[in-house]
Amino acid sequence: MVQRDAGERRIVILTGAGISKESGLDTFRCADGIWSRVNLEDVATPEGFSRNPELVHDFYNARRAKLGDPAVVPNAGHHALARMEREWPGDVLLVTQNIDDLHERAGSSNLMHMHGELNKARCAACEQVVSWTMDLSVSDACERCGSVGRMRPHVVWFGEMPLAMDVIYDALNRCDLFMSIGTSGNVYPAAGFVSHVRMYTRAHTVQLNLEPTSGSTMFAETVLGPATDVVPAYVERILSRGW
Ligand code: BV8
């Protein structure tokens, strides 16, 4: 197979909650995960928000406060991906399902938050998105249209369209390496990215995860272990001798 030189070879990386676990943030579906403590229909759907907005605000306010804890910082996995973007001569696009800001705080900049961002709020009346690091409540007003009680977390709930999908699929269609890191592959459309890449490209596909997932067989390569071990090692390997 004719290999494009490294300068043209493109990498797309998908991350999930597992890459932030060692920074102290909870995952969703591990034994002690978020969905073991709260019903996702109540806090991660538009129907749940219209039923009980206070409950949803409490859920995201607690996660936003945790993210603001000085002890919660990017880990070696986040830093390795930022290094990949800096040092790889071709394009590197980082697509995260995570709503935390640890990738950007580690230095990643070509980054798409397909499920939104915890430190942003959106007005459901006029759609304006603003930075928001404090608690959000039903009494907050939109600074642009003045609506009260319409501010919501700028987060993609179940049944809502993920963000930047056109940019993401364009990058998937042109990539030479697809890396999936710290995700259980339960949530679509992100969980379908690996089969999309296998169907429409000749890219190498690799999964870096603590444990095997139901989708592990979809990947040409699987490396198991905690992200702070396996991600820096894999990035070092790619930068020194490619794939
Ligand atoms: C949509 C809110 C369409 C943000 C979340 C087929 C096609 C399309 C849609 C569907 C479909 N089938 C079903 C659907 C609907 C649905 C869906 O996928 N349901 C599932 C449950 C079956 N999808 C949707 O609704 C999506 N929207 O498709 O819209 C549409 C079309 C037209 C018009 C309108 C709409 C929206 C999905 C987004 C939902 N929002 N959360 C938030 O609160 O955070 S999902 C939630 O799950 C989070 O966003 C999270 O990021 C995401 C994925 O979870 P993971 O990140 O994978 O976390 P998990 O705990 O599961 O796994 C962690 C992994 O890490 C584990 O494997 C573990 O082993 C590993 N790990 C642990 N520790 C470590 C580690 N790895 C390494 N190191 C460690 N130390």
Examine the pLDDT at 130 and tell me if it is beyond 70.
yes
* Residue from 14, 15, 27 whose mutation best tests the ligand 1 pocket (most atoms within 8 A of CB): 27
CA–centroid distance, 45 to ligand 1, in Å, is: 12
- 77 bridge partner residues: none
Examine the pLDDT at 1 and tell me if it is beyond 50.
no
* Residue from 15, 19, 23, 28 whose mutation best tests the ligand 1 pocket (most atoms within 8 A of CB): 28
pLDDT digits over 152-207, tens only?
A: 999 999 999 999 999 999 999 999 999 999 999 999 999 999 999 999 999 999 99
Q: What stretches of 22-145 show up as alpha helix (H) in DSSP?
A: 40-43, 46-51, 53-67, 76-87, 102-106
**Is residue 18 packed enough to be buried (19+ CB in 10 Å), middle (13-18) or exposed (0-12)?**
buried
Cα-flanking dihedrals φ and ψ of residue 111, to 5°? -135, 130
Q: What is the average per-residue pLDDT within 84-104? A: 98
pLDDT digits over 25-37, tens only?
A: 999 988 889 988 9
Q: What is the pLDDT of residue 6?
A: 65
- The amino acid at residue 169 is Y
Average pLDDT over all residues of the chain: 96
CA distances from 212 to 43, 183, 215, 231 (A): 28, 10, 8, 16
Examine the pLDDT at 108 and tell me if it is beyond 90.
yes
Q: What is the pLDDT of residue 25?
A: 98
Examine the pLDDT at 2 and tell me if it is beyond 70.
no
**At how many degrees (to 10) do helices 193-200 and 165-174 cross?**
40
H helix or E strand, kind and range, residue 217:
none
Examine the pLDDT at 5 and tell me if it is beyond 80.
no
Alpha carbon nearest to ligand 1 atom 32, residue: 161
